[in-house]
A and B are shown apart, each in its own frame.
Chain A
């Protein structure tokens, strides 16, 4: 059974469309983890017909993903897809990923914006922020990925059981590759399309992630 897990925080504008899009592509098991939204995210999800589980207080994207993983594992998920609530990803990429995973017997697939030319990454982000992030990330995770902090992931049951996300905030994007390395999971990247709206993490978000990673090292 394929489950789509979507962490959502104040996404009432876009979440409904994302869910309907997934349904139209034949993905019927859609679980949204509402991360303590203060808007109508929950209602939108219920109206769209997806399952919602909700954090009473906001805990961050990493925490929401782990809650989602726990839930779908309990409900017999064999394949879990992490997907964004804001419609940045292309639903069509999921099937390609699942197919690739099964054909190549992979445990986890990471989405990457840089393996084809579909994603129009903003200039500053592409040539300044991301290269620096990549160096830092590869240092922390010890595995080489062409993209960093891309929320698109597909994992099998085994990977989801091994990967326990402890980073509440955005640093989970670095934590997951590190755990993949640690547990020797078979991974690969998949070209995915990312549409750019005006949101996203700027440079300060990057520093917050670095800070969280360093803290985690101290706290070990």
Chain B
């Protein structure tokens, strides 16, 4: 086993622990936890046995299994970043709506000012 493999496997196991802890704390739902644990277990499998991806490479017509994994990872990353972006934008708009409503609620009843002339 290469050093990078050991490091990555340990890292992934740590992430799985984190996922479980988040699940226990109630931060993520059961189905999400299962999904993430599965994802990271697959990652552990791929890293500890890189040849396992060669079937993927064959299906996709990419030279090596590792390449296939990298391509797919990048695509997935882009997709996730995009999703987060859209979500953030939505949150921004919601915060604006809240801020606006609050500002209008706190605004004093308007009276035509006459105190200056």
Contacts and interface: CB of A to CB of B under 8 A. Distances in A.
Contact of A67 (B93, B100, B112): B100
Nearest to A219: B89
Nearest to B92: A168
Interface string A40-80: 00000000011101111101000100110011001100000
A166 B108 contact: no
Contact of B100 (A1, A50, A55, A74): A55
B103 A53 contact: yes
Nearest to A70: B104
A75 B110 contact: yes
Given A29-B112, A55-B99, A166 B93 contact: yes
Nearest to A60: B96
Contact of B115 (A29, A49, A54, A70): A49
Interface in A114-160: none
Nearest to A212: B89
A68 to B, nearest CB: 10
Contacts of B108: 51
Given A23-B116, A71-B107, 5 more contacts: A49-B113, A59-B96, A67-B100, A67-B103, A168-B96
Closest 10 CB pairs of A and B: A53-B107, A75-B110, A67-B100, A63-B96, A55-B99, A53-B103, A59-B96, A49-B116, A23-B116, A55-B103
28 contacts: A28-B112, A28-B113, A28-B116, A29-B112, A29-B113, A49-B113, A49-B115, A51-B107, A51-B108, A51-B113, A53-B104, A53-B107, A56-B102, A57-B95, A63-B99, A66-B100, A67-B99, A67-B100, A70-B100, A71-B104, A71-B107, A74-B104, A168-B92, A168-B93, A168-B96, A215-B89, A219-B86, A219-B89
